[in-house]
Amino acid sequence: MTAVTAVTGTRVLEPYESLSLSEVLSRCRDLVEDPDFPTVARWRRDGGKVIGHFEVYFPEEIAHAAGALPFKVRGAPVEARQGESHFGSYLCSILKTSLELVLSNRVELDMFVSHPICDSARNLAAIWGRNVEYPCEILYLPQNANSGHAAAYLRGEYGRLARQIEAVTGHAITDDDLRASLAVFNENRRLLRELYEIKRATPWQLAVDEAYVLMAVGGMIPREEHNALLAWALPKIRERAGVPQDRMRLVFEGGFCEQPPLDLLSTIAKFSYVVDDDLLIGLRWITEDVPIGDDPLADLAVSYLERSSYSPVQHDLRKPKEKMLVERIRNAGAGAAIITAAKMCEPGLDEVVAYVKALDEEGIPYFVSEFEERMTNFDNLQVQLETFIENLLFA
Amino acid sequence: MSTKASTTASPYAPPAGPSDDARATSLVGRGNKEGNRLFRSWFSELTTAQERGEKAAYVFVMGSMAELLRVFDFHTIFPEVNGLQTAVRHVADDYIAKAEDYGFSTDVCGYVKADIGLQFRGGEHPMGTIPPPALSVYTNACNTYIKWAEIWERLYGVPIFTLDIPGTRRSGGQTWPGSADFANDLRYVRGQIDELIGVCETVSGKRFDIDKLREIMGYANRMSVAWKRLIELNKSTPAVYNAVTDGTVYLGMANGFRGREEGARYFEDLVEELEYKAAHGIGSPFEEKYRLVFVGVPCYPIFRRFGEMFSEWGGTFVGSTYLWFASGGANMGFEYDLDRPLDSLAEGVLVTVRDAMDAMFYSNTLLADMIEPFDIDGVVYHPIKSCRTVSTGLADSRRALMEQTDVATLFIESDHMDKRVVSEAQLKNRIDAFFEGLATRRQHRAAQVVRQGREG
């Protein structure tokens, strides 16, 4: 076991090493669907600090370097009884359920950070700040990714964020702390790339919902523990028996912020292979190792801009989203795409139009749908999807 | 016409005298008339711009960068202004439908869809013809600006430039010159302005002229000073203008004529008119019974009726967050230092656009500060489906304001473009009930004063 997978501090997962892979996947599923986030509670019970960060990307390494648990706030399948009253109509669900988690004391945080990813989310720090006692603030990731000044600015912004996190945790972050954290997260990125490589190469060994829970659990446990879990699970996935079936290879697009219900992913997995997706893309935003040099915050800042994926909430002239999607489909050897957007998600809905036009031009079949994290009925969707796929398979 | 003794002493107001009638005739109402005339002339200029081979930059109200774009003789086109004009003139549905036919969801911003419809109609607009963009320059004050510009990039293949303005990180956490964090933000904005100059030179084929910039910034300074004074002047009783109905005219002028001599002169004249009204206790054409603040964006599909629903009860909007954020933070009265124009432009854009964002995200503290000096009876929140930037935080902001003050509030939802989301009857019911509540409050307070008088 290396330093990047060694779990030395609080362990928040129940021991799983003696269990079967499917039992562990089932546990991960329970954790991902549990609106009480027991791993976060365990961490906090042992005196750990929790930095909650809203979708999409957050430089978790900085929180980690301060000894805190970076917790990915991504809503939950709960009824927003209190959260609803803080918002008007016509808004996506994730805003309301995320606030619900803290107003109902399901999750306790020590700091909350949101980003101006969209018109709704940019209001969140102000809304949370009016309702909780701990610091709530906005991290201004650069929206002009093409400026020659963006990296230097982001280096400064990360420095500012580090000072705020130091104040919350009482831990002065050193460059060595940051370098150690970068190494842990580089290993995590490597393991997640391996997970996705399995999806692409042998998708019959790993369904989209299984891969999802293995990845998503990383947003709520210490990253060393996630690394250890992935290092344990990946060989077992590769050893899984199974034969390729005559199923359509698909790319799922539209899960960059609000997450589709797991049952929706399971429905899709019943009759297709999802060979790539943008689910929780923030956890995989940086696509390569972050170089570890003299100025780790600068290394992290440059990587955000130069070694990164794409999403509807980042504008980068070098990465037109529709071209990136076509590339994702081609690279994954997919024959079609499921293009989705969360209900009331303006950037997602805007992008659907561009995606559809591009796919038409490329002659790539697609299925368009909207979802909501709290939806529970998938019958219609299943029938429509099955029809779509049958049409393709038997065309 | 409502006339009462003014509560705001104006140092500029002439003494009342025999020539007042003539002066009132020439002054009162001049701003709206002149605003409408200039507004039409602006659209006429845009209509013939292409024939003259002049280029247009598509920009937005929060950080238009008109100062810089005018150096290169770009016309500034405001799709938000174009959009609201289609709604006010009751043709927005046709434009929106075109965009929805193309694939845009019913849940996408109505401004965006009206503009897409306009582009598909070759720029045909009720007020003229809108030329296509040669480039687009926009800030991140609204994320939809960015998504919108991406659409033009796809439609026309024109350069688009995001001027990224870091906003306030937390409530009350604004930084200022002298702070390292402010310096980091400022360096970023300043650097982007240099990059934007390069883009403008390429697209326009013209060299940057710093003296021309200085002249334009001088006009912007005059407008900025006047805009700040305009907002202060509504502390007068009665209010000297309606911040929603008249305010929308002023906003059109502030954006369309920013950095132009006509714009500077218009606002100086307008302030003269309003000073006169304040000094002579001249208000709106109906009796002012309740002084209100408006939070959000007006309901343009029924704009006149929307205003009447309040004015019929004697409600006047003396303030509006719209006048803050949709003027790009001009309410700060920021004046550029013309001795160091580029540095000052960066600083001005940073603090004013940031202020515009604060007016949307942290409005509760700003509104609480208005209640007493503007003698506010009620705050009307009007979140709209289309604009999540403005609307997402309003319900929570209202809760906070109600904890901070005992001012009456009203929360009504509709849209600024899409008639399908506007229910006039429901709006009226809620508004009527609000005013009945205000009347009851006033009676209770009067009774309380009488009781205290008897006991005292």
Rounded Cα distance, B179 and B192, in Å: 20
Q: How far is A75 from chain B (nearest CA, A)?
A: 16
Mean pLDDT, residues B208-214 taken together: 98
Tell me the C-alpha distance between A11 and A314, whole Å: 35
What's the gap in Å between the CA of A95 and the closest CA on chain B? 9
Contact A135 B170 (CB under 8 A): yes
Number of Cβ within 10 Å of residue B186's Cβ equals: 21
pLDDT at B17 over 80: no
Does residue B290 have a pLDDT over 70?
yes
Q: Which residue of B has its CA nearest to A358?
A: B154
| Chain B contact present for A260, CB below 8 A | no
Q: What is the mean pLDDT of chain B?
A: 93
Report pLDDT digits (tens) over A138-152: 999 999 999 999 999
Length of chain A: 395
What pLDDT is stored for residue A3 in this prediction? 62
Band (pLDDT 50/70/90 cuts) for residue A4 is low
Residue A313: its chain B contacts at CB < 8 A?
143
**What pLDDT score does A220 carry?**
97
Q: Which amino acid is at B72?
A: F
Give me the pLDDT at residue B452, please: 85
Q: What is the C-alpha radius of gyration for chain B, rounded to an integer number of angstroms?
A: 22
pLDDT for res B9: 42
> Tokens standing for B369?
């500060």
Residue type present at position A238: R
d(CA B274, CA B267): 10
Give B66's pLDDT tier (boundaries 50, 70, 90): very high
**Which of A96, A103, A111, A140 has the highest number of chain B CBs within 10 A, making it the mutation to test binding with B?**
A140
Q: Domain extents for chain B? A: 48-455
- Chain A contact set for B105 (CB, 8 A): 341, 349, 352
In the prediction, which pLDDT does B424 show? Answer: 95
Considering only CB atoms, A350 lies closest to which of B140, B147, B389, namely B147
Cβ separation A149–B102 shorter than 8 A: no
Answer yes or no: is pLDDT of B10 > 50.
no
pLDDT in tens, B159-207: 999 999 999 999 999 999 999 999 999 999 999 999 999 999 999 999 9
- Separation CA B331–CA B186 (nearest Å): 20
CA dist A2 to A225, A228, B22, Å? 12, 9, 89
Interface test with B, best of A149, A157, A164 (most B CBs within 10 A): A149
Alpha helix (H) residue ranges in B64-179: 66-71, 79-88, 92-102, 110-120, 143-156
User: What percentage of chain A has pLDDT greater than the value 70?
Assistant: 98
Q: Are A242 and A205 within 8 A, CB to CB? A: yes
Q: Please judge whether A86 and B181 are an interchain contact, meaning their C-beta atoms are less than 8 angstroms apart.
A: no
pLDDT of residue A355 exceeding 50: yes
Angle of the B424-455 helix axis to the B303-311 helix axis, nearest 10 = 20
- Residue whose C-alpha is closest to residue B226's, from B200, B262, B197, B172: B262
Task: Count Cα atoms within 13 angstroms, Cβ side, for A261.
Answer: 17
| Phi and psi at residue A102, to the nearest 5° | -90, -35
Cross-strand partners of A73:
A54
Angle between helices A21-33 and A262-271 (to 10 degrees): 140
CA B424 to chain centre: 24
Substitution target from B80, B164, B357 for chain A, most A beta carbons within 10 A: B164
State the nearest Cα–Cα gap between A298 and chain B, in angstroms: 14
Distance between CA atoms of B420 and B422, rounded to whole angstroms?
Answer: 6
CA angle A42, A48, A50 (to 5 degrees): 90
What phi and psi values does residue A210 have, to the nearest 5 degrees?
-70, -45
From the DSSP assignment, how many helices (H) and strands (E) are in chain B? 18, 10
